[in-house]
Each structure stands twice: as structure tokens, then as C-alpha cells.
Structure 1
Amino acid sequence: MKKIISVLMVAVCLMMAAPAQAQLHFGVKGGLNLSKASLSADALKGDNQTGFFIGPMAEFTLPIIGIGADVAALYSQSDLSVKGYDVNAKLKTIEIPVNLKWSFGLGSMLGAYIATGPQFGFNIGNKNGFMNYELEKSNTTYNVGAGLKLLRHLQVGVNYNFALSKTAVLLDDATMVKVKNNTWQVSLAYIF
């Protein structure tokens, strides 16, 4: 019984000390988007389109267990295109990913992480739509990603954003087609 109480006391002390050792870091993040539209009409197919994103980020980590959070405010620009249509929609959004992140070290200069969480996007470009597109004012995606931490300041990552809500509505011969934009992202971050 004394051993169990001793182990519990050590665990409680470690848990109390962890917040005191918590690390909050700020940085800047940028990268490449590769998106493809997913449409509710089977006859229409989306094209792959590239874009970019950049903005500030913050990372909070509990060093003993490596669990933390990653939050950013990213300006993102990408195209939305449908095969067979000449009109491309240019999406200009502010993306706010909020990820739960688990980091583990492979030495003092190299580490890895996996991350997952929602991302909220707000359209700051053309809100009224044009031609046969109507862009939504906001959308939500879900991120799943992984990456490497290099030299304590650099992070290289890749993640996939699953669209949870529609990005646009395409009016095709008086039929409303819902458009969702799924995106691969490759990122580079510098942590101060």
C-alpha cells in the first residue's frame, strides 16, 4: 500500500510540475496547397489546383509527455476549378487550424510529430460569387498530419484537410451542385 501511495504522490508531483515547465512558442508558417474539388454531381469532376498559405502560429507543449496544441492564422489562396468549365474561382481565405499535437524526440536536434484537429476558413475574397459559382462565407475542414522538427526551430510537415462543409455552390443547368474542397498541404515553419 505504501508503494502505491508513493507512486501516486510522484505522479501528482510530476503533473503539478508539468504546467510550470510548459512551453509556449511563436513562429511563422507557410507552404503549398494542392486542392481538388469534390462535387455532389457524379457527372462533374474537380481539377487539381495549387496555391499557397502563410501566417503567424503559436505552439504550446507539455515537454514531459509531448502533448500540446498548435494554432495559426493563415492567409490562404487557392483556385477552385471544375473540369469542363472555363471559370476558375480564386479562393482567398483566412484559415485557423487548431490542432492537438503529439511530439516525440529522436535526439536533441531532431523530433517528429503527429497532429489532428479542425480548421475554420473565412472567405475574404469574392463573397458575392460570379458567373455560375457562389462562394461560401465560411467553411470547416478537418486536418490530419505529421512532420519533423529540425534544429529546434524548423518544422517541416504534411497534412490533409477533409472538407466537412461546402466551399461553394455551382449552378449547373438549374441544378445546384455542392462543392467541397479537399486539400493536401506541405508546410515549413520557423519557431522563434
Structure 2
Amino acid sequence: MKKFFGVFLVAICCLAMATPAQAQLLKWGLKGGVNMAKIDWSGGYEGNKDNSTGFFIGPMAEFTIPVIGLGIDGALMYSQRGEDDWKQQGVEIPVNLKYTIGLGSMLGVYVAAGPDFFFNFKDTKWEGLDTKATQVGLNIGAGVKLIQHLQIGVNYQIPLGDSFSFEEAGKAIGDGKTKTWQISLAYLF
């Protein structure tokens, strides 16, 4: 993971230095925040229905066409989500199409949507519980941009597949999907 993180940062820096005339179009920075996750179980298993918290942090990049306000952003983040013993830890890669409405040079409002890829690297030790190593979801979010560098956002991740499968004595009890609300803060250079 350290190699991947290092290569990602070097690629972003090279891109930023290679296009000085378009530096205003490409920005990079750091994003972090809080995950509030809930596992929805199907089948006969009820499980814990309460929200649990985790966090996420990592580098991000944003490419925006200034006059139109349309752009794309992506991040490579360490993320914790899930509940108690079923808490997932891994690498999250959200890629969003973002539309920003500028309200002057100091304030903007944006909406964003796109795919989210999650690679789980925590091995859950429960018998009969199968944790999915790779998960794909859909992001929907909105937020504000302040003083050209700061972004505050709210995001909801809808899983497109199961996060967990739970079996007991060969009989499926239920599948779980981790649905997550995120509150984020990003600083772009």
C-alpha cells in the first residue's frame, strides 16, 4: 500500500508540474472525514442495526473546467467502515463527476456522483462470515467550496453488491450491505 500511495502522489505532482499553464484546472490536496456506516442484512439475520463510526483520510485530485464548472475528482484513501466486529478497513477509491456553481471567487456549491471502489484488507475472524475483498458502490454527494482551497461535503455510498455473507452449518442466514454516510473536509493546494 505504501508503494501505491507513493506512486499516486508522484504521479499527481508530475501532472501538476507538467501543465503550469493549466494549474488552475488541476488541484491536489488532502481529504479526510468521518464514516457513519450501517449494515443492512437480508435473509433471516437481524444483526446490529445501529450506525457506527470510522474515519477516512488520503490524497485527492480535482480537475475542473472553470467557466463550465464541470469536473472530475478522485481520491486514494485509507477507510474504516462497518460495525464493531464487522468493521472493514481498506483502501477506498472514489471517482466523482462534479458540477460546481460559483457564487463569487470565495464560495461555490457542488453536487457530485460516481463510482466508489473499496478494497478490504481486514480479515474478519467470525466462523461462517465471508467478508468481500472488493466492493463497488455508487457515491452521491454535495458540498461547498470556500476560499478556493477548502471543501466541506456530505456523501452517501450505496453498495452495488454485498459486503458480507453469513452462513451457519452450510445454510445462508443473510447477506449484508454496508451503507455509509460520509462527512468530509478537503484542503486543495
Name stretches of at least 5 consecutive residues in structure 2 with no aligned partner: 1-20
Letter in 1 for 2:154: V
Q: Does 1:26 align with 2:28?
A: yes
Is 1:120–1:138's contact at 8 Å kept on the other side of the alignment? Answer: yes
Q: Partners in 1 of 2:176 and 2:81 — Cα distance?
A: 14
Distance across 1 between alignment mates of 2:160 and 2:134: 11
CA contact (8 A) 1:98 1:118 kept: yes
Deviation, 1:129, is 4.7
Aligned to 1:36: 38
Q: What residue is the counterpart of 1:58 in the other structure? A: 61
1:33-78 Cα deviation digits (max 9, x unpaired):
0011111125515331110000000000001100000100110012
Q: Which moved more, 1:34-43 or 1:102-111?
A: 34-43
Range that drifts further, 45-54 or 112-121? 45-54
1:74-122 deviations in whole A, cap 9, x for unaligned?
10012335xxxxxx22210101001000011111111110000010000
Return the alpha-carbon distance in structure 2 between the equivalents of residues 154 and 96 of structure 1: 20
Indicate the RMSD between aligned Cα atoms, in angstroms.
1.9
Runs of 4+ that moved beyond 3 A: 19-22
Whole-Å Cα distance in 2 between the matches of residues 144 and 172 of structure 1? 35
What is residue 138 of structure 2 aligned with on the other side?
A: 142
Per-residue CA deviations over 1:140-172 (Å, capped at 9, x if unaligned) read 110000000011110000010011111111124
Aligned to 2:87, the other structure's residue is in SS state: strand
Distance 1:90 1:36 in 2: 10
> Which entry has the higher C-alpha Rg, 1 or 2?
1
Q: Within 5 A, what are the aligned runs for 1:114-153? A: 114-126=111-123, 129-153=125-149
The equivalent residue for 1:107 is 104
Identity %: 46
Instruction: Quote how far apart the aligned CAs of 1:176 are.
Output: 4.0
After TM superposition, give the deviation of residue 178 of structure 1 in Å.
1.1
Pair 1:21–1:91, CA change in 2 (3 A): closer
Q: TM-score, normalized by length of structure 2?
A: 0.82
- Secondary structure (helix, strand or coil) at the match of 1:134 reads strand
Aligned residue pairs, count: 167
